[in-house]
């Protein structure tokens, strides 16, 4: 992608950066003009003072150097201020936009990204994108303009030597361009491998307790070594191309071109085609000129390298977010008709021809053996997955026609492994209702049977529970998640194995609270426990992704062979 196209992609819908960018460009122009003055003063020093022996001009030249140095220092200091302002503003705004894009992705679109992938794009890649404006726009243009100005001056001094010396410029740029492309290809491969490593590292830290409990340390270390063995050769290859490009530019500037200029310049002076003073000035100007050619070459190499990271940022910025509208859903009845769903890459349907209704004030249990599609159905009901056929309506509104905010404003789900953050109990609860009072928090904890435990903690509600609630037991995490659902007070509540880690006493208390809640709410429980099943108004039995029975517990016990077998094999043990 060209620099112009990259600039447009990185600044689309991001304001507040054009002013510091324009200021930086003006200061770059200021420094460019001031940078030419010492060269002109040097030319005058050689021609008028050293060759012409005009000593009184020496003081004017020294004053010119001092004045230029002072003005250049002021320009550098001011440009540094605007550079920092630009980087800070852009870094905050691009990360905000990237995170906003991720949060508004459709569930299925988000599932295509790994955690390491998303973190890398927002943290590392966004930082590289922020440097694009100063490094790959302003610095690059500055080098090109300065080199062009020096080329004109060199032509004015001695056009014959200048044209001969310019032969090395296209050769150098072509070589660096070729090596830069090789570096970019290696960088793409390296980026993919490093993201796989980041995801592996995140997964290990997140599941630290399970790894320790199952003695998987050696297996994880072996997998870590596998990541290193794949990354190492690609990293060395990428660095090799980068160093070859930089070394070639340095070698061309400091060896080949210098020797060429000395050789040709010496011949011109000996043959009388040029003067010693002119040649001294020419060599000085040419050193500056090829220094900027080297900067251009390095800029091309670095842009190729950074383009890998920048392209990942642009790709995420351009990701299609959930464009479905928000719509307030009035009713709380759930109506599912002829639902069909198949996971990507699977030939068979996980759910097929599923139809049922749940009305306000009703509590439906969904039962079935493992793999029958219960949790998949819960994800479909909350909009996390989209069906391939049939409809899911809430209050008469098809859930596929509205965005996730419309559904989450109506439905809350309590899962077996609650989503808890490394914050205090209070802060985890306030995620459900930011303006909740202390009394409300205590009441929801009491109803979820976790308040007695909180009272035993030194800091009470302000106790930090660790990443994923690792400082809590499984039952405590589930009760806290249920408390959050009670506080959220949605019209429809889905419990997906949400009491599996509770003892019978705590479960009985919570079931009683849920029963009192169900008077004005629509409730769906996915459960394995016999006690949970019995407490519901109706029970729908799934088997191999299909509904095989749906009725009250009493009727199913008498008339459904599938329900009876399920009870004998699983629920009786619970």
CA distance 147 to 297: 12
- Give the C-alpha separation, 282 to 276, whole Å: 10
Contact between residue 514 and residue 522 where contact means Cβ atoms under 8 Å apart:
no
Q: State pLDDT tens for residues 131-158.
A: 888 888 888 888 888 888 888 888 887 7
Model confidence at 220: pLDDT above 50: yes
Q: Which has the higher per-residue pLDDT, 289 or 214?
A: 289
Give the three-class secondary structure for 535. coil
The pLDDT, as a whole number, for residue 197 is 83
The C-alpha atoms of residue 198 and residue 116 are separated, in whole angstroms, by 5
Read off the pLDDT of each residue in 461-485 and give the average, rounded to a whole number: 86
Residue with tokens 């299925």: 108
119 pLDDT above the threshold of 50: yes
8 Å CB contact between 480 and 469: yes
With 0-12 CB in 10 A as exposed, 13-18 as middle and 19+ as buried, what is 124?
middle
Helix and strand numbers, DSSP H then E, in the chain: 22, 10
- Per-residue pLDDT tens digits for 453-468: 999 998 999 999 987 7
Distance CA 43, CA 38 (A): 9
Helix, strand, coil % over all residues of the chain, rounded to 5: 65, 10, 25
pLDDT exceeds 70 at position 268: yes
pLDDT band at 571 (very low <50, low <70, confident <90, very high): very low
Q: What percent of the chain shows pLDDT beyond 90?
A: 8
What residue spans of 140-216 are helical by DSSP H? 140-165, 168-206, 208-213
Domain segments of the chain as ranges? 3-317, 334-571
Pick the CATH number of 334-571 from 3.30.200.20, 3.40.50.300, 3.40.190.10, 3.40.50.11540: 3.40.50.300
Position 470 confidence tier, pLDDT thresholds 50, 70, 90: confident
**Average pLDDT for 103-121:** 78
Q: Which residues contact 76 (CB under 8 A, 6 or more apart)?
A: 31
DSSP secondary structure string for all residues of 451-520: HHHHHTSTTGGG-B--GGGTTS-HHHHHHHHHHHHHHHT-SEEEEESTTTTS-HHHHHHHHHHHHHHTTS
- Candidate ranges 73-82, 201-210, 276-285, 406-415; pick with highest mean pLDDT: 406-415
Residue 338 has pLDDT above 90, yes or no: yes
Mean pLDDT for the stretch of residues 326-355: 88
**CATH of segment(s) 3-317:** 1.20.1560.10
CB burial of residue 58 (10 Å; 0-12, 13-18, 19+): middle
With 70 as the cut, is the pLDDT of residue 434 above it?
yes
**Cα 461 from Cα 458, distance rounded (Å):** 9
Indicate the pTM of the whole model.
0.64
> Has residue 518 got a pLDDT over 60?
no
- Residue-averaged pLDDT of the chain: 81
What count of other Cβ atoms lies within 10 Å of the Cβ of residue 153? 19
Q: What is the pLDDT of residues 550-562, one digit of tens each?
A: 888 888 888 888 7
Q: Which residue has the higher pLDDT, 287 or 98?
A: 98
């Amino acid at each position: 992608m060209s620099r112009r196209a990259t600039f447009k992609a990185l600044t689309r819908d991001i304001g507040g950066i054009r002013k510091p960018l324009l200021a930086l460009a003006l200061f770059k122009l200021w420094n460019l003009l001031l940078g030419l003055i010492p060269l002109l003063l040097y030319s005058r020093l050689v021609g008028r003072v050293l060759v012409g022996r005009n000593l009184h001009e020496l003081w004017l030249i020294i004053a010119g150097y001092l004045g230029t140095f002072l003005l250049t220092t002021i320009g550098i200091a001011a440009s540094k201020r605007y550079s920092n302002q630009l980087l800070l503003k852009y870094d905050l705004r691009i990360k905000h936009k990237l995170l906003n894009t991720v949060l508004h992705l459709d569930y299925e679109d988000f599932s295509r990204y790994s955690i390491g992938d998303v973190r890398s794009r927002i943290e590392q890649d966004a930082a590289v994108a922020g440097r694009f404006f100063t490094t790959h726009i302003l610095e690059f243009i500055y080098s090109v303009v300065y080199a062009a100005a020096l080329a004109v001056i060199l032509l004015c001094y001695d056009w014959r030597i200048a044209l001969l010396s310019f032969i090395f410029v296209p050769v150098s740029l072509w070589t660096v361009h070729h090596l830069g492309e090789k570096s970019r290809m290696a960088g793409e491969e390296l980026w993919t491998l490093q993201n796989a490593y980041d995801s592996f590292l995140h997964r290990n830290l997140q599941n630290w307790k399970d790894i320790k409990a199952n003695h998987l340390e050696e297996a994880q270390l072996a997998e870590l070594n596998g990541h290193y063995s794949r990354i190492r050769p690609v990293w060395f290859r990428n660095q090799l191309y980068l160093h070859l490009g930089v070394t070639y530019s340095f070698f061309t500037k400091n060896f080949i071109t210098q020797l060429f200029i000395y050789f040709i310049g010496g011949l011109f002076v000996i043959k009388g085609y040029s003067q010693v003073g002119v040649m001294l000035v020419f060599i000085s100007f040419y050193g500056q000129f090829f220094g900027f050619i080297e900067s251009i070459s390095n800029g091309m190499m670095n842009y190729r390298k950074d383009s890998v990271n920048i392209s990942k940022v642009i790709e995420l910025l351009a990701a299609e977010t959930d464009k479905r509208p928000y719509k307030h859903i009035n009713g709380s009845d759930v109506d599912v008709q002829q639902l069909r769903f198949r996971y990507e890459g699977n030939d068979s349907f996980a759910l097929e021809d599923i139809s049922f209704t749940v009305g306000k004030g009703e509590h439906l249990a969904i039962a079935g053996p493992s793999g029958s599609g219960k949790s998949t159905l819960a994800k479909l009901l909350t909009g996390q997955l989209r069906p391939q056929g049939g409809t899911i309506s809430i209050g008469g509104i098809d859930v596929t026609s509205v965005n996730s905010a419309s559904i989450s404003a109506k439905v809350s789900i309590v899962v077996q492994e609650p989503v808890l953050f490394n914050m205090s109990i209070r802060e985890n609860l306030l995620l459900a209702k930011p303006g909740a009072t202390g009394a409300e928090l205590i009441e929801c904890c009491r109803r979820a049977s976790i308040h007695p435990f909180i009272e035993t903690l030194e800091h009470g509600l302000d106790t930090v529970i660790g990443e994923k609630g690792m400082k809590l037991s499984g039952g405590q995490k589930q009760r806290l998640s249920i408390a959050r659902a009670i506080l959220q007070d949605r019209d429809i509540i889905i419990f997906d194995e949400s009491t599996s880690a509770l003892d019978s006493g705590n479960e009985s208390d919570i079931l009683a609270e849920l029963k009192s809640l169900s008077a004005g709410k629509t409730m769906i429980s996915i459960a394995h426990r016999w006690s949970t099943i019995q407490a519901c108004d109706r029970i729908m039995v799934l088997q191999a992704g299909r509904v095989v029975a749906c009725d009250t517990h009493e009727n199913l016990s008498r008339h459904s062979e599938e329900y009876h077998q399920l009870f004998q094999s699983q629920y009786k043990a619970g």
